[in-house]
Chain A
Amino acid sequence: MIELLKTIEFTPFLLSFKLAAITSLILFIVSLPLAWYLSQTRSKAKPFIEAVTALPIVLPPSVLGFYILVALSHNSPLGAFFDDLFGIKLVFSFPGLVVASALYSFPFMVQPLQSGFESINKNMLEASYISGKSKFTTLFKVALPNIKPSLMTAVIVTFAHTVGEFGVVLMVGGSIPGETKVASVAIYEMVEVMDYSTAHIYSAMMLIISFMVLLGVYIFNHKQHKKIGAFGS
């Protein structure tokens, strides 16, 4: 068993986690203002924005992957732009995977944040405005600290969802070892070549890690709920 473990290549796992960490970070920064805006706005454009945001949940990964592939390829303006300016090839490369993952996991970050913000007692935010605090201060000092469970859920679920993606990654990234061959793709290939023992180990690791992460989130949320009550008193 030990011998077997020694022969196992962990690069796909590291790649998966690196991809998930970068994707989660980018999405957090992008989604925070959007989720805050959606939770506070009375604009008629809100349902439209929400529908676009939720698209990656319902679209088959192959459809999403296909469009991303087309959009990022060297023949498209976007792909050409990145190639000419930064020398970055977005297709079958790690940066391309990051772009694809960010699109694919977008709703998993925006939606928990938005529903967290929406569940905050509106009077609490108004009390902050009346106390002379700007929207910015209110967001960081009042809103965010009161939705820690939603923050946690958003970040962890986005991370886990990115680790778990397969279809989009395969289409946009292919399977280049050390560059785009993430754990899920690696498992798929092992099964194809009937290397079941390695596939078992990889799969079991994925299962255990995923479970531990989710368990951690739920324990944290349960404790937070007890501490500050349901989103403000």
Chain B
Amino acid sequence: MITIDIDKKLHGVDGEMDLKVGLSINEGDFVALAGQSGSGKTTLLRILAGLEEARGSIVIGNEIWLDGTKAIVPQKRKIGFVFQDYALFANMTLEENLLFVNKDRKLAEHLLDITELGELKKRLPNSLSGGQKQRVSLCRAMMNRPKLLLMDEPLSALDPVMRTKLQNEIHLLHKEFGTTSIMVSHDPSEIYRLASRVIVLDQGKIINDGSPKEVLLKTQGSQKFSFEGELLDVTKVDVIYIAIVSIGQQLVEVVVSQDEAKNLKIGDSVRVSTKAFAPILSHY
């Protein structure tokens, strides 16, 4: 069990903000931290890692990491941390990056095998692609055999195919090592796939906490499906109006009435939903 009860004053873009978070996490859980940028997600992660000061308490199992303002240093926490920008040791080969953390060669071999990096182990990080670098970073984090794995938007800089691949690897490692994982993420499909719990922060406070299904599914009542998107264009075609909405990576056309068209401004955030109609799901 991990119990967190912390308080920290942040100087954000909108002036001062109070990061005040109290929560407990079961061991082995995979928690996604969501929320708009500037809501305190990264700071919370850094406080857990001991990279940032805070006031309060952090207790993990029977270890006390933070008590009042007395914190134990990051070196003694045995955590894994995956940075958004990889933060690999540029002067060391992949293998050396892993062995720097822990001299366990067997574990390093095993991790490099899982992530299909075995053949690249003598290369320097500078010669790798983003996806490869992030896998090394993930392997390096696991070399600690961490009780707590912290990931700060680990996949946000990668393309969709690479994301899916790494999501699987993260899932695999989380299960194999039995770590408790906390990941900052903006991507609902990623959260749904990986996390067993989602915590949404806003202005430094928890505003939503539940299973991915409860938190992420936006349909209500009799709505069968519902998507949020951005209105790109509204054009008049004969007597009807057609709105073009960008949803995720897709553009869709939606027919709207004249009255509706009047109320829509290009750039608006809109929700496309429907009910009383059975959508057909097919492979493409």
Contacts and interface: CB of A to CB of B under 8 A. Distances in A.
Interface in B139-160: 140, 143-144
A231 interface: yes
B90 A131 contact: no
Contact of B81 (A130, A142, A227, A229): A130
Given A123-B83, A233-B125, A233-B126, A130 B74 contact: yes
Nearest to B51: A126
Contact of A128 (B49, B86, B89): B89
Contacts of A129: 51, 73-75
B272 interface: no
B83 A127 contact: yes
B75 A121 contact: no
Contacts of A191: none
Given A124-B87, A124-B90, A132-B78, A227 B124 contact: yes
B100 interface: yes
A142 B75 contact: no
B209 interface: no
A133 B87 contact: no
Interface in B35-88: 49, 51, 73-81, 83, 85-88
Nearest to A133: B75
B220 interface: no
Contact residues of B: prevailing secondary structure = loop
A232 B87 contact: yes
Given A121-B85, A126-B74, A229-B126, A132 B90 contact: no
B101 interface: yes
B83 A134 contact: no
B144 A131 contact: yes
B174 interface: no
B133 interface: yes
A131 B101 contact: yes
A209 interface: no
Nearest to A134: B75
Contacts of A146: 89-91
Interface residues of A, number: 22
Nearest to A127: B87
A126 B48 CA distance: 13
Contact of B90 (A126, A133, A229): A229
A141 interface: yes
A115 B125 CA distance: 23
B74 A124 contact: no
Chain A CB count within 10 A is highest, among B77, B91, B101, B126, for: B91
Given A123-B83, A228-B124, A229-B126, A130 B49 contact: yes
Nearest to B89: A142
Interface string A91-130: 0000000000000000000000000000001011011111
| Nearest 10 Cβ contacts at the A-B interface | A123-B87, A145-B91, A131-B101, A229-B126, A232-B90, A228-B90, A233-B125, A123-B83, A129-B74, A127-B87
Given A126-B51, A129-B74, 10 more contacts: A124-B87, A129-B51, A129-B73, A129-B75, A130-B144, A131-B143, A132-B76, A133-B100, A142-B91, A228-B124
Interface of B: 49, 51, 73-81, 83, 85-91, 100-102, 124-126, 128, 133, 140, 143-144
14 contacts: A123-B83, A123-B87, A124-B87, A126-B81, A127-B88, A127-B89, A128-B89, A130-B79, A131-B102, A133-B75, A146-B90, A229-B126, A232-B87, A233-B90
